[in-house]
Structure 1
Amino acid sequence: MARTWEQLEEIQPTVLKMVQNSLVKDRVAHAYLFEGARGTGKKDAGLLLAKSLFCQNPANGYEPCESCLNCKRINSGNHPDIHVVEPDGLSIKKSQIQALQEEFSKTGVESKRKLYLIVHADRMTVNAANSLLKFLEEPHAQTFAILITEQAQQILPTILSRCQIITFKPLPPEKMASQLVENGVTASMAPLLSQLTNNLTEALELSNDDWFAQAQKIVLKLYEVLKKNPLEAMVNLQENWFLHFKEKDQLDRGLDLLLLVFKDLLYIQIGKQEQIVYTSEKSRLEQYALQTSGRRLIEQMTAILEAKRKLHANMNPQLLMEQLVLKLQEGSSFV
């Protein structure tokens, strides 16, 4: 179910204000590019704009009523004058854009208006993009295009120049956390998830994922053994860490979780306990925070960020983690 105007306004107020102004002043662009991170509400906003244009009883002249036949059909994905194009496999192909053009050369089934959304517009093949470009260069009156992407830099500049670009900002972590709680995630888990992803669906999946629950325990255990001797930390890597974080994306997630431990320690040191994410470990973390310095924590966080960079540069994961552990222990008051 797509979000309502009120729900989306809460997470993307600037975007909704721009859309509202366009509708009220009757200056809706022929083509928009909605760009921003995954989970920021781009597709929902596209469908909301569609409902605003097709709604039979809009409130204040712009806000869809959500109850008329058109609003209901758009929500269920079967309005004859609204077309959604998504990648067929890995890409959007020229034949998909051509089929769209053929459809749009006919008059609207129920009104003169027609609207199309292209999801993951950055995945168009070169031929598909060139085909769309011709379409954008000669827009029909009352035809509207919404291109949606997380990678605006991958789209042809000639296409970008014909679109009004609207940027969707990441959801603030505190709003993300409250949305998670509304969706049944525990208040102790929500802050952690809101730091790891901006995508509500992904966060909800992680909250029910046994692998993720185990990952948190392994990360906290590694932090504990870092305070002991280097050999024990290396043994822990072999017996626990490498067995759990096998794939590159899993290791990346593990490094993120480890980084958040050090962030929590820093928050405790500067008196911002309300910002910690490992809330169930608060008393232990408060003890650990007494045993280190803010400068040392920043050095350790920098080392983890550097390890993430090396991971994406395809460094051997085992060597990377062994080097990181030594770096995290180096010069530390608790070795």
Structure 2
Amino acid sequence: MGWEELRKKQPRVVKTLTNSLKKNRLAHAYVFEGGNGTGKMETALMLARAFLCREKNGVSPCGECSDCRRIDSGNHPDVHIVSPEGQSIKIDQIRGLQKEFSYHGMESEKKVYIVEHADKMTVQAANSLLKFLEEPTSPTIACILTEQVHRLLDTILSRSQVLSFSPLPPDLLVEALTEEGISLPLAKITAALTNDKSKAHEICREEWFAQARDKVIQLTEGLRNRPNHVLVTLQENWLSLFKEKNQLDIFLSLLLIWYKDLLFIQLSEPDKLIFIDQEDRLKEQALQNSQKRLSEKMLAILTAKQRLGANVNPQALMEQLVLRLREG
């Protein structure tokens, strides 16, 4: 992965780092903070290649020299990665890192260390790292990666340049999920619910989520074809699937997405559909709804989501919502 690919994910971060490389003004320590899957580790390794490569073209490492290849394979003697052992990063790990850095570089004087999930450092480890940051070995770059920046010591943050990684755009999250074997329809709808890659994986792994998607389609078809039987079907087949409040909240979100898709059909914007494999069914339902009626139904769903947060009885809430959706 090169700077251009990373730029698609994190344009501001890449601009900051490449400008610093051009001016030869890299900070001695960076904190990369942001959600899972946003490219923090890829960026840290890219920075390590750009810093250590002796054949680079401008700010871009060559990708072919021994430095680049060994960083890619994870065995460069002057690039050290510290990750949690068990539930935490312990002081002995930071001391081991300091010991490694007390030696001269194997290939040059330059060294890079990357601390992954830095928010999981013990208090002793964090204080040891702080001492390390206060007395940097030059030329050295530290990349401190975290998904919970508020858990890092303020003194560590003050001695580092903090770069915030934005959530992945939906299209890139869909691409990442499909590359890992998740079906495109499921990836599309998951990316519409969250832009956090780890949460997206968690949702996709849940068996009930795929069922919830099917139930949304069945509910809208029932409202269209058998409106007088929908309440019975709701009690018999659907409510038992959503035992937890967060599951029912996701179901309501999926239902809202369906009605948004109906609106996109009416606006002749099929490229914006989330239920991409249901276009024919959406077109049929769109013919039976005016834009005004769709807006009213979407408002009813949003109201139901708000009421769910106020501890309203889920069954009563869903029955009232179905009656509202059935009108007209």
TM score, norm. by length of structure 2: 0.82
Deviates more, 1:290-299 or 1:180-189: 180-189
Q: 1:322 aligns with which of 306, 315, 327?
A: 315
Q: Matches of 1:333 and 1:307 in 2, distance apart? A: 19
1:178-257 pair list within 5 angstroms? 190-198=187-195, 212-225=209-222, 232-233=230-231, 235-243=233-241, 245=242, 253-257=250-254
1:106-145 pair list within 5 angstroms? 106-145=103-142
Displacement of 1:226 after TM fit? 5.6
Give the partner amino acid of 2:319.
L
Deviates more, 1:27-36 or 1:295-304: 295-304
Q: Matches of 1:37 and 1:308 in 2, distance apart? A: 27
Deviates more, 1:13-22 or 1:91-100: 91-100
Q: Matches of 1:34 and 1:224 in 2, distance apart? A: 47
Q: Matches of 1:206 and 1:34 in 2, distance apart? A: 25
Deviation string for 1:137-174 (max 9, x for gaps)?
22221121111122222222222212111122222223
Displacement of 1:275 after TM fit? 0.8
2:303 is equivalent to residue 303 of structure 1: yes
1:1-335 pair list within 5 angstroms? 3-60=1-58, 62-177=59-174, 190-198=187-195, 212-225=209-222, 232-233=230-231, 235-243=233-241, 245=242, 253-289=250-286, 290-291=288-289, 293-303=293-303, 305-306=305-306, 309=309, 321-334=314-327
What residue ranges of structure 1 are gaps of 5+ in the alignment? none
Displacement of 1:332 after TM fit? 3.8
- The number of residues matched between the two structures is 324
Displacement of 1:209 after TM fit? 8.1
Q: Matches of 2:154 and 2:300 in 1, distance apart? A: 41
Give the partner amino acid of 2:315.
E
Q: Matches of 1:96 and 1:220 in 2, distance apart? A: 52
Deviation string for 1:280-315 (max 9, x for gaps)?
2223223334336243233234235436756xxxx6
Q: Matches of 1:7 and 1:144 in 2, distance apart? A: 22
Displacement of 1:274 after TM fit? 2.1
Paired residues of 2:245 and 2:308 also in contact (CA < 8 A): no
Displacement of 1:320 after TM fit? 5.5
Displacement of 1:224 after TM fit? 3.8
Deviation string for 1:164-198 (max 9, x for gaps)?
11122222223444566677766655533432454
Deviates more, 1:83-92 or 1:246-255: 246-255
Distance 1:82 1:262, change over 3 A: same
Paired residues of 1:39 and 1:198 also in contact (CA < 8 A): no
Displacement of 1:116 after TM fit? 1.2
For the residue of structure 2 that corresponds to 1:297, the secondary structure is helix
For the residue of structure 2 that corresponds to 1:39, the secondary structure is coil
Q: Report % sequence identity.
A: 41
Distance 1:154 1:85, change over 3 A: same
Distance 1:147 1:241, change over 3 A: farther
Paired residues of 1:32 and 1:164 also in contact (CA < 8 A): yes
Distance 1:236 1:146, change over 3 A: same
Displacement of 1:129 after TM fit? 2.0
Deviation string for 1:104-156 (max 9, x for gaps)?
22332222122111111222222322222222222221121111122222222
Deviation string for 1:218-245 (max 9, x for gaps)?
23224444666698446535534534x5
Q: Matches of 2:180 and 2:188 in 1, distance apart? A: 14
Displacement of 1:51 after TM fit? 0.8
Q: Matches of 2:93 and 2:320 in 1, distance apart? A: 52
Deviation string for 1:36-93 (max 9, x for gaps)?
2221111100110011111131112x21111111111111111121111122222222
Q: Matches of 1:8 and 1:287 in 2, distance apart? A: 41
Distance 1:223 1:148, change over 3 A: farther
Distance 1:248 1:45, change over 3 A: farther
Paired residues of 1:40 and 1:198 also in contact (CA < 8 A): no
Give the partner amino acid of 2:54.
Q
Give the partner amino acid of 1:18.
T
Paired residues of 1:262 and 1:300 also in contact (CA < 8 A): no
Q: Matches of 2:171 and 2:152 in 1, distance apart? A: 32
Distance 1:306 1:102, change over 3 A: farther
For the residue of structure 1 that corresponds to 2:109, the secondary structure is coil
Distance 1:324 1:101, change over 3 A: farther
CA RMSD across the alignment: 3.4
Give the partner amino acid of 1:127.
Q
Q: Matches of 1:304 and 1:164 in 2, distance apart? A: 43
Q: Matches of 1:248 and 1:100 in 2, distance apart? A: 45
Give the partner amino acid of 2:153.
L
Distance 1:131 1:183, change over 3 A: closer
